Amino acid sequence: MKKKGVSPVIATSLLVAMVIVIGLIIFLWFRSFVQEPILKFESNVELACKDVQFRATYSSGTISIINDGDVPIYQMNLRTLSGGDYQTEKLSNAEGWPKSGLNIGGTVSITKTVTGDKIILSPVLMGVTESGKTPYDCDEKTYGFEILL
**Domains in the chain and their CATH numbers?**
39-148 (2.60.40)
pLDDT at 23 over 90: yes
Count CB neighbours of 86 within 10 A: 14
> In this predicted model, what pLDDT tens digit does every residue of 100-127 receive, in sequence order?
888 888 898 888 888 878 888 999 888 8
Contact 139, 123 (CB under 8 A): no
Q: What is the pLDDT of residue 82?
A: 83
Give Cβ neighbours of residue 55 (< 8 Å, ≥ 6 apart): 65, 66, 68, 145
| Percentage of the chain lying above the pLDDT 70 cut | 97
Give the bridge partners for 133, in sequence order.
128
pLDDT at 14 over 90: yes
Q: What is the pLDDT of residue 34?
A: 72
In this prediction, residues 15-32 reach a mean pLDDT of: 91
How many Å apart are CA 136 and CA 140, to the nearest integer? 12
How many Å apart are CA 31 and CA 72, to the nearest integer? 31
pLDDT at 13 over 90: yes
The three-state secondary structure class of 54 is strand
| Percentage of the chain lying above the pLDDT 90 cut | 12
pLDDT top residue among 50 and 46: 50
